[in-house]
Amino acid sequence: MFEVIGWDEISRVLPTLDLVGAIEEGFVAYSQGNAHVAPVSELRIPHGELHIKSGYISGDSSFVVKAACGFYGNPAKGLPSSNGLMLLFDSETGVPTCLLLDEGRLTDIRTAVAGVIAAKFLAPDPIFAIGIIGTGTQARLQAQYLLKAKRANRLFVYGRNAHAVAVYQRDMSREAVEVIACNTPAAVAANANLLVTTTPSRSPLLNFDDIAPGTHITAVGADSPVKNELDPAILHKANRIVVDSLQQCSAHGELKHALAVGSIPPERIVELGDVIAARKQGRISGTDITVADLTGVAVQDIEIARAVFAAVKAMRT
């Protein structure tokens, strides 16, 4: 029977789920060749963009198609910048089994969870402060999820809009952390050793000279070929680059822009799934500069959609 599940039910089961564990399994399956992921389909229109991702993990009873929109002028209209839905299909018959009307929030959450996973394996110890570039939905979720997993006393933030920064400071201060606004991305990097870039920028916001030894950077904004938050020199000089998908990041992520200006020794680029499975090393020393280039892989959508669907079915019975 085809089921439709709205955000009310989804939000009730989310706190019961081990999303970090589930999504780690998805990354491992991908890097070990047990996942089948279609190329990303991207539609750009005057006021926004649509991304379609789909995939199947060998042996699963279902496969997933996800549509996610980004309309970055929406906050000025009182609307969220992202929206979307997820569809589950029976992998034996191709029959649709479930529509998750998640309003794009599961995409936002699984991206934040991936940021936690990247920090788990790559962030320095200790983390003396977290730095966030951006003030939107992902800037909030990345900080919230990181603060739950890796407690820091201070959070530095940069945003282009002073009002948005002030609102971010007010809201994030509720997370029992001191929130300090910075005038430039470089100032954020000067004060934090775990940085997360979360914007749709099309030109670099951080330069290599901004980055201190021992810093980890998680870049989540560049999910299309035209977006770019990091100076390519950061990747060229980083000790380790960890990508969610080598194929996808080479075409869509920060890695794409770095490779466009010169080659990078292949041994310095590894997939996150291989780091999780201990097949490859992530951070090696306390002074390493590490980068996680996260473009969003369909296995994340598969894992979160399956977990939500199963939990809602159990709750309904």
**Of the candidates 147, 77, 80, the residue with the CA atom closest to the CA atom of residue 107:** 80
Inter-CA distances, 217 with 70, 164, 242, 316, Å = 23, 23, 10, 41
Q: Does residue 87 contact residue 103 with C-beta atoms inside 8 Å?
A: no
Active-site pick, 66, 77, 148, 227: 66
Q: Does residue 275 contact residue 282 with C-beta atoms inside 8 Å?
A: yes
**Of the candidates 189, 268, 265, 274, the residue with the CA atom closest to the CA atom of residue 229:** 189
State CA 70 to chain mean position distance. Answer: 14
Say whether 66 is catalytic: yes
DSSP notation for 128-159: --EEEE--SHHHHHHHHHHHHHS--SEEEEE-
Residue type at position 198? T
Q: Cis before residue 126, ω within 30 degrees of 0?
A: yes
Residues designated catalytic: 66
